[in-house]
Amino acid sequence: MKWYNPFAFRPAQVTFWTTLLYIAIGVSIIYVQETVPPAPEDPRPLPGVDLDDAWADLTTITKAFHPYNSRFNEDVRDYIVERLQEILNANGVRWTSELSWHSISASNKKFAEANALSEKNAKAVIFNDLVSNVTATLGRSSSAANVDPTCGLGTYFEGSNIIVYIRGTDDDEGEWWKKAPHEWSAKHHGVLVNAHFDSVSTGYGATDDGVGTVSIMQMIGYFTAPGNQPKHGIIALLNNGEEEYLWGSRAFGANPVAPFVHTFLNLEGAGAGGRAVLFRSTDLEVTKAYAQSPSPFGTVVGSDSFALGLIKSQTDYIVFNEAYGARGLDVAFYEPRSMYHTMQDDTRHTSRASLWHMFSATLRTMEYLSGEAGDQFVGPRPDKDVGKVQNGHGSDGVWFDFAGLCFALVGLRTFFAWSLTLLITSPLSLILVSWILTKNDKYYFFSSKVSSHDSVGGSDSAAINGWRGFFRFPLAMIVASGAVAGSALLLRKFNPLIVYSSSYAIWALMSSLFYFSLWVIMRGANAMRPSALHRGYVFIWLFTITWTLLIGVTVLQDRLRIAAGYPFVILHASTSLCLLISLCELFALPAKKDFSRWSQVPPASAASVISRESIHSRDRLSEVNGASSSKAPIDDDRESSDERTPLIISRSTTRSDNVGRTAFSTNYRRSLGSIADEIHGHAERPGPNGVEPFHLEQEWSAQLPSWTWLLQLLILGPSTAWFFGQLGLYLTAALSATGADGSSLLVPYAAIGLFVVLSFLPVTPFIHRVPHQLPLLFLGIFVGTLFYSLVAFPFSHNSTYKILFQQTLDLDTGASTIAIDGLEEFVRPIIAELPSAAKKEVTCKPSTHHMLTTCSYDASAVLPNLQPEVVLPADTPREKRFRNLVSFNVSQPDGPQSNRAVFEIDAANTKTCFLIFHNKHATKFEVEGGTEWDPRFGPFHDHGLCQVRLWRRDWNKVWRVAVEWDDVPESLGGAEQELGVPAEMEVGHDGELRVRGDKHASNRLEGEVACMWADANDPEMMPAWHEVVQFSPVWVSVTKVGEGLVVGTKKFTV
């Protein structure tokens, strides 16, 4: 009975093992990508932790929209403070509450009273911050339309954060925050964990950032439970205002506990549910804390993408790291992006499993940073900046997860040493082995013929055909990669947004196309010119390419400290080992001269030509490889004829015996088999030890081991397919929705195509052995997915298209316009569905947001009611309905010819107003009761400010802002006007506010006050926004353009 070798390098085995490998890896990667580890069955898995309470808290704070500029935001804040008190009381811990701390400014001294009931050594302190404020300048905001990009933005922000301090065993006693930092002991430092409890105006904030908020609340319960007190103190910051350009975390800088923070963990949400990923980290040492998580998930590629500016959006991480100098981590939910900042960011689209995934990572990370390991985060800074916390020097690192089960970490310098060593040793080791093979006359690569020098009759040279297969790999890769690129361009042209909702279809399309195209070239070339060196040549090409890439990766590691190239280091190591195996296989072959002698003699004499030792060695190798499958030479003289014997024996057994004979004749004639053999270039006959080569391959190849290919597959396949496949899906989730946001429509397809090619590299050395059945299946998959991708609608209820909404309102005239940003081909049909836009002219122009289009129409039919408490007569003219919405006054205490003015601003039902300057730049601004300008958040812009943005805690506070401007006009916006003498406001015939006075027209300041309303919980206040939500197609979701859903403006001239 013939023995079947399941590991032989034969078509069936190659098809089976490669298919099994890719199915196993593909299913595993998708499973990790699409599922979340389950939460414990016990809702109280740890002391002080209650997952049922956490879920109840999440549903409570996400019942309505709660941006900073909304009434429900205050309800959420009060609820959180109440729940924190309940948690501390339930744990029986001694705690106190601080309403304020040292004076923030002269006007706030009345708040600087310590709680009379406070305990000096309370185990927990709640800082109920209602006094902090910050004044700073930033670069231009993306939402600052019609603003000169050469100037900056000034901001005054009043904080309302909730800060909980959990005392550590090594912390100083008493109310240490009331002392100067230089009075603290050397061991006195701690770790911060941060989340924001405000949402955007168009989302409920379950994932962004409700899960982070309730995770911190439960973490507080754990560390205040008996027996869980940390060694180093913990600052739990629940900030209010992250969605307003990170101002909540900037306001934290005014708190006296801010210098206490040496390390931090920031919790964020940029999707809706799923796994929380390690976005980025400052250094290797703090990343070790996250590695303690039960289900770590993330890669250093994300951190490097932020560092290189490839990811533009930011989190509170940059404030803690860049402004305060702390070292830490950014952990966030990141998919699906289509639900980010929309109404789908609710508890229905997240889960208890996602909550547990973030909480468990938070808890283990904080345990590590607040424990013994926290001692290392002390010491001089490498940048010598004494204005930042002195927390030592971190090292760069490389990190990535394995299937969400464990985390790999290694220092970047160590990894660089590995890369450099591999860069040097891999070619040297291969050169050494090649030299040994050459010395033993067994280096068959690049050999055409070989001479025996002592031939026994006939020619003295034999054909090795060692060049066969050398050029196949580059040709096949060019064709297959070109096909994938062509498919990307095709989709970009005809259905560019299909990746938004059907990314897996695109993966299937490009994978099947690449596999089939590669197979056609490889299989076709091997059918015409079979070569046993095909596999080895592919590894030579792969080694050359990966070694070249390794040079670039190593340079990036050394010069730019970029670690994202770690998969290529692993790829090159695997490829080098596989090529080494291919070279070592050649030791099983006879010397080329021995083969030359053998090939020139009849089979009966061949054994005497090959040395007895060579034959013995090959016989042992044949036994290992299943030599029982070989055929012995046919002895025609001993073969008896019967009725089953063919009339013509179709194959000659030796090159010299090249004639066939009939079964019933003694006359010889040329056989058809011999003629066919000559067409192929040689006759297929057993090799030197009686083993046949595979399918007309070179005769000497019969001695090659038949199992080593599987070893190569196992070395190269799992690591390459896993790392590039997982990274590809990770980036696909991050990039698939960017085209709808105005970014390049080609980038997502290019990224998928690149990672498809990289993921399928392990199959390239073996694909020529695959029979036609599997490639034809891939061809069918390609045709089906291509048809679907070209005709399917790109959006659905689960993958909605986001449009950006804003309604503008002229407070002087009552005129209103609705502007919707998006891609024009989708925005126009959406507007056509809105009742208020019926029969209205829709005008579209390029948007200030990336490559989107802004389409606008008259909104007089859906005017906002921003003061529902004020009832106006039904016949009130439109131009008078909004005049009292914003109170505005300007004075010039230094005289009408000065370049300084004081603005007094108040607005109903809003906490946000902007001063926008049209023709000049402000060189200085001060807000009454505000702190001085804080240089930690950026320098004052060299060209001054185009805007001053104002945020307040109290709905009824009046902003008093002193502004100075330059004397040089920037861009005068109209004919100059004659102004009167008194420095008082008057209203012109066009409703524009002006200052009376006889001043130089060239020194006047022109601009407008713009106030924002963002509370969409009451449909009567913002009927236009609710109309868009109600009447838009099911595949549409609505999000905000900027700080306000409704923006009311009033012009001024000073």
The residues carrying an active-site annotation are 242
Beta partners for residue 154, in sequence order: 137, 948
Pairing of strands 190-196, 660-661: unpaired
The residue type found at 774 is L
Q: Is the bond leading into 209 cis (omega within 30 degrees of zero)?
A: yes
> Smallest Cα–Cα separation from 589: which of 690, 684, 700?
700
**Interatomic CA distance for residues 319 and 12, integer angstroms:** 58
**Interatomic CA distance for residues 218 and 914, integer angstroms:** 38
**Interatomic CA distance for residues 399 and 285, integer angstroms:** 11
Sign of the alpha-carbon dihedral angle for 49, 50, 55, 56? negative
**Interatomic CA distance for residues 420 and 422, integer angstroms:** 5
**Interatomic CA distance for residues 766 and 806, integer angstroms:** 57
Task: Tell me if residue 206 falls in helix, strand or coil.
Answer: helix
303 phi/psi in degrees, rounded to 5: -65, -40
**Helix (DSSP H) and strand (DSSP E) numbers for the chain:** 24, 31
Q: How far is CA 581 from CA 587, 669, 719, 721, in A?
A: 10, 46, 17, 20
The residue type found at 699 is E
DSSP 965: E
**Interatomic CA distance for residues 1020 and 101, integer angstroms:** 41
3-state helix, strand, coil in the chain (%, to 5): 40, 20, 40
**Interatomic CA distance for residues 563 and 401, integer angstroms:** 14
Q: How far is CA 630 from CA 3, 586, 627, 654, 690, in A?
A: 11, 20, 5, 16, 7
Place of tokens 């008093």: 960
Cα angle for residues 725, 729, 730 (degrees, 5° grid):
115
CB atoms within 10 A of CB 507: 23
**Interatomic CA distance for residues 1048 and 885, integer angstroms:** 9
Intra-chain end-to-end CA distance of the chain, in Å:
104
274: phi > 0 → left, psi -120 to 50 → alpha, else beta; which?
Answer: left
Sign of the alpha-carbon dihedral angle for 781, 783, 786, 787? negative
Beta partners for residue 661, in sequence order: 668
Q: How far is CA 684 from CA 631, 678, 694, in A?
A: 12, 10, 9
The encoded tokens of residue 533 equal 């060196």
The encoded tokens of residue 129 equal 């911050």
